[in-house]
Amino acid sequence: MIGAAPALHGIAAGAYTFAMLRIGPFQTDCRVLLAPIAGYTDLAFRLTCRAAGHSGLTYTELLHSRGILEQNRDSLEIARVSADDEPYGVQLYGNDADWFCQAAQWAQSQGATLIDINMGCPVDKVTKTNGGSMLLCDPDRTTRMAERIVRSVSIPVTAKLRLGWSACEITAPRLARQLEEIGIQLITIHGRTTAQRFKGTASLDGIAEVVAAVRQIPVIGNGDVDSSAAAARMIEHTKCAGVMVARAAIKRPWVLREIHELLTTGQAPAEPTVLEKARLIRLHFELMRRYRGDRLAMIVMRGRIAAYGTSLGHVKPFKERIRLMNGANDFHAAMDELERRVDPAWTMVPHWAFVEHLGARQPDEVADPEAVMTT
């Protein structure tokens, strides 16, 4: 899928070649992690990222530990796994050590590579139950609870934090240090506070403080990594052991591989062609049909096409067709048309590709292609 491309500015070949990323007994050569993203990182999407070349860790979206124990249908759907999606972590949230431990044991029995404890979710539904980023507010209690979880399973346990509840309550460095002492094997730090939600930019200095606070476990930087250049910048500035990517992967699942390639070879790979991107979108849709059924696949893809569209260029009529589709046949007909209209070498669709009256003519045959731009 990916051809050679020039080295990125300022990044020499192999400059970021690292030793293996070690998470307890588990190790991987990939220092790029797909983030847990509620409503997005189901099995179909995680497998789509694998098909786009991702070889590192993926995470389920956050799962309530009690939901798992009660075998709640939605929770079990979120927890659906496959041998084709390894290595993967199951992310749990909650506030009750007993539930956490039992849910962690269940995830271990399902084959999870590791368990991640959510200590960063700012959403009211989660913090009202004293879970998510509320765990940042009482580091000592959180550490005691994490210790019980660590002792309840034999696979590694990791934690995902924000910097603290607010700018005047930065608890992540202290909490990270304490978590390392009780056996947490990796920390992911999103460089924002809970109060910030997604506003402003992720603080690289804040991430660097967490990196400096722990003795030897890896710290993964997270927040606003949307390209291999942004990943290299974060690693250079914070000395973090790797990066976790969320929002950018929803738009461009191949960004995970792109970053991995840059870090290991010093070369950013070429952008996939529109045809390669289209194949991936089709695969994602078919995987959703397989795991979630036709109706849900259609509803989800109607929404997700906007994110995919950002990497396709001028495809407004195509996106409209997907948004208005009434079933799998409509979806594939729209994909067929997109594929018919594009040149195999294109990485983005030019503005004139969907102009009906251009027919088979090439752009240079049109006196002023700009004048007929409709998208």
Q: How far is CA 108 from the centre of its chain?
A: 22
Secondary structure (3-state) at 245: strand
The enclosing H or E element of 278 equals helix 274-292
State the Cα–Cα distance between residues 168 and 109, nearest whole angstrom.
41
Shortest distance, position 255 Cβ to ligand FMN, whole Å:
10
Q: Which is nearer to ligand FMN, 207 or 325 (CB)?
A: 207
DSSP 69-111: HTT-HHHHHHT---GGG-SEEEEEE-S-HHHHHHHHHHHHHTT
Q: Which is nearer to ligand FMN, 259 or 268 (CB)?
A: 259
Q: 267 has which bridge partners?
A: 7
> How far apart, in Å, are the Cα atoms of 101 and each of 56, 60, 93, 98, 177?
25, 17, 11, 5, 22
Shortest distance, position 72 Cβ to ligand FMN, whole Å:
16
State the Cα–Cα distance between residues 29 and 218, nearest whole angstrom.
13
Q: In this structure, which amino acid lies at residue 129?
A: T
DSSP state, residue 268? P
Give burial (CB, 10 Å; 0-12/13-18/19+) of 12: exposed
Q: How many CA atoms lie within 13 A of 94 on its CB side?
A: 22
Shortest distance, position 132 Cβ to ligand FMN, whole Å:
8
Shortest distance, position 49 Cβ to ligand FMN, whole Å:
13
Is residue 121 part of the annotated active site? The answer reads yes
Shortest distance, position 213 Cβ to ligand FMN, whole Å:
19
Q: Which is nearer to ligand FMN, 58 or 105 (CB)?
A: 58
Shortest distance, position 328 Cβ to ligand FMN, whole Å:
26
Q: Which is nearer to ligand FMN, 207 or 280 (CB)?
A: 207
Q: Which is nearer to ligand FMN, 105 or 196 (CB)?
A: 196
Q: 362 has which bridge partners?
A: none
Q: Which residues bind ligand FMN (CB under 6 A)?
A: 35-39, 61-62, 91, 118, 120-121, 160, 190, 222-225, 245-248
Q: Which of 49, 121, 168, 240 is catalytic?
A: 121
Q: Which is nearer to ligand FMN, 91 or 203 (CB)?
A: 91
Integer distance in angstroms from the first to the last C-alpha of the chain?
27
Q: Mind telling me the catalytic residues?
A: 121
